[in-house]
Amino acid sequence: MVRYRRNFIPGGSFFFTVTLADRTSHALVDNVTALRTAFRIARQERPFTIDAIVILPDHLHTIWTLPSGDSDFSGRWRRIKAFFTHRLVAAGVPVKRQRNGEYALWQRRFWEHTIRNEIDLHVDYVHFNPVRHRLVSRVSEWPYSSFHAYVRRGLLPADWAGVVGESTEDFGERKE
Protein backbone atom coordinates (compact mmCIF):
# COMPACT_ATOMS: atom_id res chain seq x y z
CA MET A 1 0.00 0.00 0.00
CA VAL A 2 1.32 3.43 -0.93
CA ARG A 3 1.54 5.91 1.92
CA TYR A 4 0.54 9.37 0.83
CA ARG A 5 2.48 12.16 2.50
CA ARG A 6 1.07 15.64 2.61
CA ASN A 7 3.33 18.58 1.98
CA PHE A 8 2.94 20.78 5.05
CA ILE A 9 4.51 24.16 4.31
CA PRO A 10 3.91 26.93 6.86
CA GLY A 11 2.36 29.94 5.13
CA GLY A 12 1.99 27.96 1.91
CA SER A 13 -0.65 28.13 -0.80
CA PHE A 14 -2.54 24.96 -1.60
CA PHE A 15 -5.08 23.78 -4.17
CA PHE A 16 -7.73 21.41 -2.78
CA THR A 17 -10.44 19.18 -4.16
CA VAL A 18 -12.91 18.03 -1.51
CA THR A 19 -15.66 15.61 -2.48
CA LEU A 20 -18.89 14.20 -1.08
CA ALA A 21 -19.09 10.43 -0.70
CA ASP A 22 -22.19 10.34 -2.89
CA ARG A 23 -21.10 11.76 -6.24
CA THR A 24 -24.75 12.12 -7.33
CA SER A 25 -25.58 14.40 -4.40
CA HIS A 26 -26.33 18.12 -4.71
CA ALA A 27 -25.83 18.73 -0.99
CA LEU A 28 -23.17 21.40 -1.39
CA VAL A 29 -25.19 23.75 -3.60
CA ASP A 30 -28.51 22.82 -1.95
CA ASN A 31 -27.02 23.81 1.41
CA VAL A 32 -24.55 26.46 0.32
CA THR A 33 -25.46 28.77 3.23
CA ALA A 34 -24.46 26.09 5.75
CA LEU A 35 -21.24 25.47 3.82
CA ARG A 36 -20.40 29.18 3.79
CA THR A 37 -21.06 29.31 7.54
CA ALA A 38 -18.73 26.34 8.06
CA PHE A 39 -15.99 28.17 6.16
CA ARG A 40 -16.61 31.39 8.09
CA ILE A 41 -16.39 29.61 11.47
CA ALA A 42 -13.23 27.76 10.49
CA ARG A 43 -11.64 31.03 9.33
CA GLN A 44 -12.61 32.78 12.58
CA GLU A 45 -11.09 29.97 14.65
CA ARG A 46 -7.98 29.47 12.52
CA PRO A 47 -7.52 32.16 9.85
CA PHE A 48 -6.60 31.45 6.25
CA THR A 49 -7.11 33.25 2.96
CA ILE A 50 -9.40 31.84 0.29
CA ASP A 51 -7.67 32.84 -2.94
CA ALA A 52 -10.27 31.16 -5.17
CA ILE A 53 -13.19 28.77 -4.73
CA VAL A 54 -15.93 27.07 -6.69
CA ILE A 55 -18.67 25.02 -5.10
CA LEU A 56 -20.18 22.36 -7.33
CA PRO A 57 -23.07 20.02 -6.43
CA ASP A 58 -20.89 17.15 -5.14
CA HIS A 59 -17.40 18.62 -4.73
CA LEU A 60 -15.50 21.85 -4.45
CA HIS A 61 -12.15 23.24 -5.52
CA THR A 62 -10.41 25.94 -3.57
CA ILE A 63 -7.04 27.62 -3.20
CA TRP A 64 -5.97 28.67 0.28
CA THR A 65 -3.00 30.54 1.65
CA LEU A 66 -2.20 29.79 5.27
CA PRO A 67 -0.73 32.27 7.73
CA SER A 68 3.01 32.40 8.14
CA GLY A 69 4.16 29.72 10.57
CA ASP A 70 0.98 27.63 10.14
CA SER A 71 0.68 24.51 7.98
CA ASP A 72 -2.42 22.82 9.43
CA PHE A 73 -4.84 22.74 6.54
CA SER A 74 -6.05 19.28 7.61
CA GLY A 75 -7.43 20.61 10.90
CA ARG A 76 -9.29 23.33 9.06
CA TRP A 77 -10.85 20.82 6.64
CA ARG A 78 -11.83 18.61 9.57
CA ARG A 79 -13.65 21.56 11.14
CA ILE A 80 -15.39 22.61 7.91
CA LYS A 81 -16.56 19.07 7.14
CA ALA A 82 -17.77 18.43 10.70
CA PHE A 83 -19.64 21.71 11.04
CA PHE A 84 -21.34 21.33 7.65
CA THR A 85 -22.35 17.73 8.38
CA HIS A 86 -23.76 18.57 11.82
CA ARG A 87 -25.61 21.57 10.42
CA LEU A 88 -27.31 19.36 7.81
CA VAL A 89 -28.23 16.74 10.41
CA ALA A 90 -29.68 19.44 12.69
CA ALA A 91 -31.75 20.73 9.76
CA GLY A 92 -33.22 17.27 9.19
CA VAL A 93 -31.31 16.47 6.00
CA PRO A 94 -30.83 12.69 5.83
CA VAL A 95 -27.14 11.84 6.13
CA LYS A 96 -25.98 8.23 5.84
CA ARG A 97 -23.87 6.66 8.54
CA GLN A 98 -21.05 4.17 8.28
CA ARG A 99 -21.13 0.89 10.20
CA ASN A 100 -19.13 2.48 13.02
CA GLY A 101 -21.74 5.24 13.40
CA GLU A 102 -19.72 8.02 11.78
CA TYR A 103 -21.47 10.18 9.23
CA ALA A 104 -20.67 9.26 5.64
CA LEU A 105 -21.37 12.59 3.92
CA TRP A 106 -17.81 13.36 2.79
CA GLN A 107 -15.12 11.25 1.23
CA ARG A 108 -12.70 10.55 4.08
CA ARG A 109 -9.79 12.41 2.54
CA PHE A 110 -9.20 15.29 0.17
CA TRP A 111 -6.81 15.97 -2.64
CA GLU A 112 -4.22 18.67 -2.05
CA HIS A 113 -1.51 20.16 -4.24
CA THR A 114 1.12 22.60 -3.06
CA ILE A 115 1.19 25.67 -5.27
CA ARG A 116 4.67 26.89 -5.93
CA ASN A 117 4.41 29.55 -8.61
CA GLU A 118 1.52 28.73 -10.93
CA ILE A 119 -1.36 30.16 -8.86
CA ASP A 120 -3.03 31.86 -11.86
CA LEU A 121 -3.29 28.54 -13.69
CA HIS A 122 -5.04 26.99 -10.70
CA VAL A 123 -7.40 29.98 -10.33
CA ASP A 124 -8.40 29.55 -13.99
CA TYR A 125 -9.06 25.85 -13.37
CA VAL A 126 -11.22 26.65 -10.34
CA HIS A 127 -13.28 29.26 -12.15
CA PHE A 128 -13.73 27.22 -15.34
CA ASN A 129 -14.83 24.04 -13.55
CA PRO A 130 -18.63 24.57 -13.73
CA VAL A 131 -18.31 24.90 -17.52
CA ARG A 132 -16.14 21.80 -17.67
CA HIS A 133 -18.85 19.85 -15.83
CA ARG A 134 -21.48 21.27 -18.22
CA LEU A 135 -23.41 22.94 -15.40
CA VAL A 136 -23.36 26.25 -17.32
CA SER A 137 -22.13 27.48 -20.68
CA ARG A 138 -20.41 30.62 -19.30
CA VAL A 139 -18.26 30.96 -16.20
CA SER A 140 -20.28 34.03 -15.20
CA GLU A 141 -23.49 31.96 -14.99
CA TRP A 142 -22.34 29.84 -12.02
CA PRO A 143 -23.27 31.61 -8.77
CA TYR A 144 -21.07 29.61 -6.36
CA SER A 145 -17.68 30.85 -7.47
CA SER A 146 -15.09 33.42 -6.48
CA PHE A 147 -15.08 34.38 -10.16
CA HIS A 148 -17.64 37.09 -9.33
CA ALA A 149 -15.31 38.62 -6.72
CA TYR A 150 -12.48 38.61 -9.29
CA VAL A 151 -14.75 40.53 -11.70
CA ARG A 152 -15.78 43.04 -8.99
CA ARG A 153 -12.11 43.66 -8.15
CA GLY A 154 -11.26 44.15 -11.83
CA LEU A 155 -9.00 41.09 -11.99
CA LEU A 156 -11.05 39.34 -14.69
CA PRO A 157 -13.54 40.60 -17.28
CA ALA A 158 -17.17 39.49 -16.87
CA ASP A 159 -17.00 37.63 -20.19
CA TRP A 160 -13.78 35.77 -19.27
CA ALA A 161 -13.49 32.41 -21.06
CA GLY A 162 -16.42 33.20 -23.37
CA VAL A 163 -19.08 30.61 -24.14
CA VAL A 164 -18.56 26.86 -24.35
CA GLY A 165 -17.33 26.06 -27.83
CA GLU A 166 -15.94 29.57 -28.37
CA SER A 167 -12.99 29.40 -25.97
CA THR A 168 -9.56 28.88 -27.45
CA GLU A 169 -7.85 28.80 -24.06
CA ASP A 170 -6.52 25.61 -22.53
CA PHE A 171 -7.48 25.25 -18.87
CA GLY A 172 -5.50 22.09 -18.25
CA GLU A 173 -8.45 19.83 -19.04
CA ARG A 174 -8.20 16.48 -20.77
CA LYS A 175 -9.58 16.45 -24.29
CA GLU A 176 -12.44 13.96 -24.54
Give 169's contacts (C-beta < 8 A, 6+ positions apart): 124, 161
Q: Which residues are catalytic?
A: 144
In Å, how far are 69, 126, 136 from 147, measured between CA atoms? 29, 9, 14
Q: Is 4 exposed, middle or buried (0-12, 13-18, 19+ CB in 10 A)?
A: exposed
CA distances from 75 to 10, 36, 43, 70, 72 (A): 14, 17, 11, 11, 6
The 13-19 sheet, strands edge to edge = 49-55, 59-65, 13-19, 111-115
